[in-house]
Structure 1
Amino acid sequence: MDRLYANLLSELECPGCSNYMPPPIRQCKTGHSICEKCTNQLFKCPICQQNFTKARSINLESLAIKMQYPCTNSSYGCQERLTFIERNSHMKVCSYKKYSCPLKGCFFTGSKSEIKSHWDSKKLKTKTYGIKKVGRSKLKANSYFVRLVEAYNENFWFKKMTKQEKICWALQYIGDSNKALDYYFEIEVFKPDFPKKRIIYSDYCQPIEINNDDLFSKNNCLSATFDSLDNYIGNDKLLTYCFRVFKSEKTSEQIKQYINEDNSSSTCRTKSK
């Protein structure tokens, strides 16, 4: 039975990308089946070099819906077998999932536990945030900073970027993307000589799947213009701020509902805890 099942699964492998084909499954003029993604990326059928058509392989689509597939992390040890719909949901929570190092020029990918070991191997500091920590930044154009953060027995990426006369901060949860909204962080900017002169920025943690371009350009981070922070620059020409991580009292589902109802956006977003 296992051999028969494996043979059926092989029929659903795309000849273009070797991934399993989800509906809609397209065909070339000869009749070879190929996934829709490859028809958008390739000019000809990779088997016979014929043009693609709008025809669909209904029989294979029917089979594809019924089959159970190995997790894409099966080569790393995951034994789950799931339908296409279950597979996509499982990928968000799979404990064998691989994560990329966010350092520029680093191509390391590893599991959640391996990320910490990789960071330590580079002799980079890991910040443990049980209490507030003070950071200092020089407001200069086009800079990027990332630090591994430990809080509530979880790991996060704390990222800071300056670009276009603006400073941005973001916190990303390393793990199940559904748990990202369980955490939020604060940036409290203050002037050292006048500690009561301060401003607080607050936002929810973001899932690790969001790349830096979307993280810093699509309202997924905290941001402030250099001009708005000018009055907080100290005599040393540095911006001083406290960074704090909190665990939300609301569930992720409650927070998602709140965010969906709140369509307003601003540079400084302080949301319900």
Structure 2
Amino acid sequence: MAKFKVNKKMGPVAVELPECPVCMDVMSAPIFQCQSGHSICNSCTRILLPPICPICRQAMTQMRNWQLEELISKATVPCPNRSTGCVYTVVSTEMEDHLKECIFREMACPIGIAFGRCSWSGKLKDILDHFKERHSNHCYLNTDNDININNISVSVDERYMYLIPQGKFLFILTLKVDTCQKLAYWVVQHIGSKKTAQQHIYGIQITSKQDDKRTVIFTDKCFNDAFDVNEIFRQARCGIMPLTMLSHFIKDGKLSFKFYVKRNQQNFKTKEKGHGSVKETNKGPRGPGPQSAGNQSRGKSPGPMHLHQRQKGPKGGNSNKQ
């Protein structure tokens, strides 16, 4: 049986969590009792036909075992994925949140989640190999190269997704073109815990295909994959560019941008007052046209502006939409 510690003022230092006599798993709320007082977990109570206690054969009731539920709610229990390597122990009431981001959980393919075109599921350690084998166009292995998108249009709704390994971590980059909102969104999510995600800052550097002196850079803290990416879009907590501005970065249906991710060091931290940053540079002559579009983007930005030096890097790579 699982053990947990209790505040010394409440009683013993350690006790054992009771198991349900039917399924033999550790009890979880709600817990119901039979007429004799035996406790059965909720899931087993619902499948008892007839509703008879398997211990004493007395009828089950709707009476809750509140004391046992309170005791269990304060227990520290190991993660159910401990057999596959997870060493976390958390308060039982927080277990559900942990399981959403546990790196040892069974994970569905991100391409399948976003587009419904893949039924693969497996462990985190196998996702990169799966992408290399099945979704090579969506696996961005060399961050020194540009991500090149073909056949992109500001008049067509589309979503692009890339799996990006960085050392021992994996990140998901999503670009969404939304013609209804007339915006393009860039979001980067770390596959893992929220704490680790917030320790990383990502950057998106977009260089115009029409004028290579025109560059926009977004920087922001990463989310983890437990966040619903559609909710991030809805709240505008990411890099955003008006489609009228994006059109000045596309030529012949092609768009290029660079991606980088860094540890959240002092000179990369964003301010608490806002989420995200944007910079536009244009070393060419100022006047109407693209520069005016850039001015509009500053008003649309969801957070404060942070200025960064424009970075040059070798161009290469090729990615197509899903």
Q: Tell me the equivalent position of 2:127.
A: 115
RCO greater where, 1 or 2, for CA within 8 Å and sep 6 or more?
2
Q: Kindly tell me: are residues 19 and 219 of structure 1, through their superposed partners in 2, closer, same or farther at Cα, counting changes over 3 Å? A: farther
Q: Tell me the equivalent position of 2:292.
A: none
SS in 2 for 1:107: coil
The one-letter amino acid paired with 2:68 is L
SS in 1 for 2:236: coil
Alpha-carbon deviations, 1:30-56, whole Å to 9, x = none? 897766xx9xxxxx96555xxx97x75
The one-letter amino acid paired with 1:10 is C
Following superposition, the deviation at residue 180 of structure 1 comes to: 0.6
Q: Tell me the equivalent position of 2:169.
A: 154
Q: Kindly tell me: are residues 10 and 80 of structure 1, through their superposed partners in 2, closer, same or farther at Cα, counting changes over 3 Å? A: farther
Q: Tell me the equivalent position of 2:79.
A: 71
Bigger mean CA offset, 80-89 vs 212-221 = 80-89
Structure 1 CA distance, aligned partners of 2:26 and 2:158?
Answer: 38
Following superposition, the deviation at residue 20 of structure 1 comes to: 4.6
Q: Kindly tell me: are residues 151 and 264 of structure 1, through their superposed partners in 2, closer, same or farther at Cα, counting changes over 3 Å? A: closer
Alpha-carbon deviations, 1:134-189, whole Å to 9, x = none? 43351242212211112244211111222223222111112232111222222223
Q: Tell me the equivalent position of 2:260.
A: 244
Q: How big is the alpha-carbon RMSD for the aligned residues of Structure 1 and Structure 2? A: 4.2
Q: Tell me the equivalent position of 2:195.
A: 178
In the alignment, which of 10, 13, 22 is matched to residue 20 of structure 2?
10
Structure 2: gaps spanning 5 or more residues:
3-14, 52-60, 278-299, 309-322
SS in 2 for 1:9: coil
TM-score of the pair, normalised by structure 2: 0.61
Q: Kindly tell me: are residues 172 and 12 of structure 1, through their superposed partners in 2, closer, same or farther at Cα, counting changes over 3 Å? A: farther
Contact 2:108 2:120 in 1 (8 A): yes
Structure 2 CA distance, aligned partners of 1:11 and 1:250?
Answer: 54
Following superposition, the deviation at residue 114 of structure 1 comes to: 1.2
The one-letter amino acid paired with 1:76 is T
* 1:101 paired to 2:117: no
SS in 2 for 1:150: strand
Structure 1 CA distance, aligned partners of 2:261 and 2:86?
Answer: 31
Q: Tell me the equivalent position of 2:284.
A: none
How do residues 50-89 of structure 1 correspond to structure 2 at under 5 angstroms?
A: 56-65=64-73, 67-74=75-82, 76-78=84-86, 82-84=90-92, 87=95
Larger-gyration structure (1/2): 2
* 1:267 paired to 2:301: yes
Structure 1 CA distance, aligned partners of 2:165 and 2:241?
Answer: 25
The one-letter amino acid paired with 1:144 is R
Structure 2 CA distance, aligned partners of 1:109 and 1:80?
Answer: 22
Following superposition, the deviation at residue 102 of structure 1 comes to: 1.1
Following superposition, the deviation at residue 117 of structure 1 comes to: 1.9
TM-score of the pair, normalised by structure 1: 0.70
SS in 1 for 2:110: coil
Q: Kindly tell me: are residues 66 and 242 of structure 1, through their superposed partners in 2, closer, same or farther at Cα, counting changes over 3 Å? A: closer
